[in-house]
């Protein structure tokens, strides 16, 4: 039997370190916010944490990892879909080493945004710092694998970028009145787009060639935003959705422009707005029963420290809910989105 195991291991190693010319995805690397943070915020002094029950209730081993949800996130499912590992480790997690990160890692930080003022609100990792960690990661990778193999991982990796939600929910429409006083919604969109463009150019200059940039979701339909709708209680805030769609249009155009302007760059715009809107407006078509609130607590306001084991009510089956808490999708929603994206990602990057 041993003679059968060795070739399998060797084949996995070939996949992990495939060169760009072989068109293999060597790793899945994530930048962004809580939609891709697999535990980095556990290791910084912030209130934006989820490393306690009932978070992770449906995660393998039923443990809270720092993921904002009841189980796995989209990067986990996408990595698994590419034949890589099913769990993407957080870069700051000391349990993992560079050998673990060689086939996938997340630099994401819950509550961060494109705007540095967004990350300042809850003292989380700003996007520029995620890039600094990525540079550090590259140095470690080259030390561990050697220049040639490390460059193959870097250029062959699929980079998942999911960020921007907190710039609107937490910052512009949330607890930072300065942004609203200095920018119209359209001006703030443009401000964020300029940061997004510079960010993509920066990681491109560092060797990233395969990118998936995720659109914003229908933010006005998040349970937290529904709760704030005083005119039509628990209905979606249409003006918030309109602002989200406007941002998505600009982001899509920027992604298309960069794909043309930067040689060798292949960027996929992962527009998941319509899919989430379908889940929310026609939940029974997908087997969901509850959309206006999350599974944790009342489901209307709770997230992070407010979603805890002492919450007065936690639903028995999160699979019936589109949202786990007042902001974050349930594990089942994450899997539906990942399954929708995977065929197109494979078509482009395999």
Residues acting as catalytic residues: 34, 325, 328
- Give the number of other Cβ atoms within 10 Å of residue 7's Cβ: 9
> What Cα–Cα distance (Å) separates residue 22 from each residue in 8, 49, 59, 84?
19, 39, 34, 16
Spatial neighbors of 264 by CB under 8 A, at least 6 apart, are 209
Determine whether 262 is exposed, middle or buried from the number of CB atoms within 10 Å of its CB (0-12, 13-18, 19+). middle
* 171/177 Cα distance (integer angstroms): 8
Q: Retrieve residue 10's tokens.
A: 């060797």
> What Cα–Cα distance (Å) separates residue 211 from each residue in 83, 95, 157, 202?
18, 27, 9, 13
- Give the number of other Cβ atoms within 10 Å of residue 149's Cβ: 18
Q: Retrieve residue 252's tokens.
A: 């899509």
Determine whether 100 is exposed, middle or buried from the number of CB atoms within 10 Å of its CB (0-12, 13-18, 19+). middle
Phi, psi (deg, nearest 5) at residue 254? -65, -45
Contact of 29 with 78, CB cutoff 8 Å:
no
């Amino acid at each position: 039997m041993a003679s059968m195991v060795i070739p399998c291991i060797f084949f996995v190693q070939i996949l992990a370190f495939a060169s760009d010319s072989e068109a293999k995805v060597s790793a899945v690397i994530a930048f962004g916010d809580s939609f891709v943070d697999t535990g980095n915020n556990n290791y910084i002094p912030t209130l934006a944490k989820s490393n306690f029950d009932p978070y992770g209730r449906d995660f393998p081993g039923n443990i809270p990892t720092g993921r904002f949800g009841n189980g796995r996130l989209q990067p986990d499912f996408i990595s698994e879909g590419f034949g890589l590992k099913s769990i993407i480790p957080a870069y700051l997690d000391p349990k993992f080493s560079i050998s673990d990160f060689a086939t996938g890692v997340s630099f994401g930080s819950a509550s961060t945004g494109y705007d540095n003022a967004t990350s300042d609100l809850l003292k989380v990792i700003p996007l520029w710092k995620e890039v600094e960690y990525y540079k550090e990661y590259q140095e470690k990778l080259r030390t561990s694998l050697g220049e040639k193999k490390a460059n193959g991982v870097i250029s062959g990796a699929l980079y998942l970028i999911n960020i921007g939600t907190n710039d609107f929910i937490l910052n512009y429409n949330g607890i930072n009145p300065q942004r609203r006083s200095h920018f119209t919604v359209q001006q703030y969109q443009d401000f964020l787009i300029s940061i997004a463009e510079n960010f993509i150019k920066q990681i491109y200059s560092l060797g990233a060639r395969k990118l998936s940039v995720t659109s914003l979701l229908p933010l006005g339909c998040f349970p937290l935003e529904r709760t704030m709708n005083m005119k039509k209680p628990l209905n979606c805030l249409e003006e918030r959705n309109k602002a989200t769609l406007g941002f998505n249009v600009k982001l899509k155009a920027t992604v298309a422009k960069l794909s043309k302007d930067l040689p060798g760059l292949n960027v996929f715009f992962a527009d998941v707005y319509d899919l989430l809107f379908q889940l929310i407006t026609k939940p029974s078509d997908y087997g969901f029963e509850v959309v206006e609130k999350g599974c944790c607590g009342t489901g209307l306001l709770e997230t992070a420290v407010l979603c805890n084991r002492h919450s007065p009510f936690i639903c028995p089956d999160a699979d019936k809910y589109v949202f786990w808490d007042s902001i974050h999708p349930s594990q089942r929603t994450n899997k539906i989105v990942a399954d929708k994206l995977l065929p197109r990602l494979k078509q482009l990057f395999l």
